[in-house]
Amino acid sequence: MKNMIVKKLSIVMVAAAMVTSCAKKLDLFPPNDLTPETTYSTAAGYKAVLAKIYGGMATTGNQGPSGASDIQGLDEGSQSPFIRGFFNCQELPTDEAIVTWNDQTIHDFHNMRWTSADPFLLGMYARPIYNITISNEYLRESTDEKVAGRGITGSDAEEIRGTRAEVRFLRAFNYWAMLDLFGKSTFVTEEDKIGSDLPRQIERPELFAFIETELKAIENDLAAARSMEYSRVDRAAAWALLARLYLNAETYTGTPRYADALTYAKKVIDAGYSLHPDYRQVFMADNDQAKNEFIYVIACDGARIQSYGNTTFLVHAACGDDHDEYGVAGGWSGYRTTEAFANLFADKSGNSDQRALFTNLGNPEITTVSAFAEGIHVRKFINIRSDGKPVNDPKRDFVDIDFPIFRLAEMLLIYAEAHIRGGGGDASTALDYLNQLRYRAYGGSFGTGDVGKLNGGDLNLQTILDERGRELYWEGHRRTDLIRFGKFTSASYLWPWKGGVSSGTAVDDKYKLFPVPSANRTANPNLDQNAGY
């Protein structure tokens, strides 16, 4: 976690007031006196803005956990962060998470009853657009002509030129979040002049094509795989996003692209990454030690990147009086998982599959959603170092766990699924990749009698879905996975309190997409609504 991003964010949090007019009141930023001429006058200024672009995935403003918020009018801790908002959208509507609290509309997520007036969805729409807007401004100001005109030359100029591909990747990733969650987006690039007309809306097929084109265009401009400092993106990050994009292409565009998903997953797999030996350490406070598995992480630091909406939220919200076991000073008694999800693990105690990081096993049934004592608690993300050293925040209020966006495990699973769905490759390789995950899950073995080992008869889509659940839970995949497998809204798979019913129920297919917030549509008549809302 010690890198340019962390260090720069601890020195300066650069606001982007100069881009406000481009958003046309869709998103409101804190006023200040920064201008392009002052912000980008030196190479150090460019680095500071680059840190802000990376940091916008983990932070919410310019003064640590609160104050000088990037996005006004929303709760800075719960409604405007990327990780927390993304988790709420990707995990809460599924079997993997259910929340105790009854803050505003938060129960509507697991109940699948959200509306276009939901304040949490307003924040989730605003955060990627804010990140995109700052990225656009950086791209406008980092052209060779602009850099040379400011007297920046030599290695400084060359370094700035190299960062442009990184920023285009981060913009593409934020647009992917919009593609997946909302199916459409406010659309602005660096080509749109500040102060021009209200932004247009881009629909799902065109947005898919834009992301694909961008990632392929920057592929060779990004640094070689595994050559960048930790937490900055390189060529493999573009391959990983393309693999994920293609895996879900049929959902996004109606046209399957499984061969492409397999091709790009294999590029990442062959780039020299390796699974960290201990699954549990991948989510601990010093998980930067698992960097050989990580392709792109959102850096978090309890002392220097403080937010109530990054991995600090994932730890505090998952614990109560047992907070010391999670490495924090207090628990928020908020989120847990359902018995249906925990049943994917043969032995929930963790004595076999070590990925089953659960507690409260004696009271798994949730009869009252607001009772944190009911349901299975998740102890996956913990603010404790594997080496026993102290964490960075001595008060243990904010955590050091970096949030994995792409890791090798996902690429192994994409290859296997794409193969089963007709994307090519071969069965023996797909099975080997799955068994690499299983071998680690069982502690560097397959357990007594090889109970954890898969064979050829296990190579089917249900195995893939279950294995993705066991491997990737609480990392922001489950909603997308259940949609791709046809189990999100239908009655083919029910879990406790799906649709607001204790035994679970099917819901309207409109909930496969979130609605465009009504506030954004009021501010910009160019935006239309998803069907059914």
DSSP 37-53: HHHTSSHHHHHHHHHHH
Considering the domain architecture, whether residues 58 and 168 belong to the same structural domain is answered as yes
Residues 107 and 179 reside in one and the same domain: yes
pLDDT for 333 equals: 98
The closest alpha carbon to 344, from 94, 90, 88, 95, belongs to: 95
How much is the pLDDT for 347?
65
Q: Are 259 and 418 in contact (CB under 8 A)?
A: yes
Residue 98 contacts by C-beta under 8 Å, 6 or more apart in sequence? 92, 110, 335, 336, 337, 338, 366, 369, 375, 496, 497
Q: Which two tokens stand for residue 523?
A: 């501010």
User: Cα 327 from chain centroid?
Assistant: 23
Of the residues 350, 374, 401, the one at which a domain ends: 401
Asked if the structure places residue 213 within a domain, the reply is no
Global pTM value: 0.95
Whole-number Å distance between alpha carbons of 197 and 533: 26
Within this chain, do residues 84 and 164 fall inside the same structural domain, yes or no? yes
Burial class for 228, CB neighbours closer than 10 Å (0-12, 13-18, 19+): buried
Q: Is the dihedral of CA 112, 114, 120, 124 positive or negative?
A: positive
Q: Which residue has the tokens 């976690």?
A: 1
Question: What is the token pair recorded at 18?
Answer: 């100069």
Whether 52 and 93 map to the same domain: the answer is yes
Pair (49, 123) in one structural domain:
yes
Residue ranges of the chain whose pLDDT lies below 50: 1-2, 7-33
* Calpha distance 344→364 (Å, rounded): 14
Residue 296's DSSP bridge partners are 406
390 with 508, same domain: the answer is no
Whether 38 and 145 map to the same domain: the answer is: yes
Is 117 domain-assigned? yes
Evaluate whether residue 305 is within a structural domain: yes
In a 10 Å sphere around its CB, with 0-12 CB exposed, 13-18 middle and 19+ buried, how is residue 327 labelled?
buried
Assess whether 250 and 281 both reside in one domain. Answer: yes
The pair of structure tokens assigned to 413 is 């699973």
- With a CB cutoff of 8 Å and minimum separation 6, the contacts of 449 are none
Q: Is 214 part of any domain? A: no
Residue (of 275, 358, 262, 263) closest to 319 by Cα position:
358
Write the CB contacts of 401 (distance below 8 Å, at least 6 apart in sequence).
Answer: 283, 284, 285, 287, 300, 311, 314, 315, 381, 382, 383
Residue 67 is predicted with a pLDDT of 82
- In this structure, are 397 and 407 located in the same domain? no
Coil, helix or strand for 346? Answer: coil
- Dihedral in degrees, nearest 10, Cα atoms 303, 306, 311, 312: 90
Tally the domains of the chain: 3
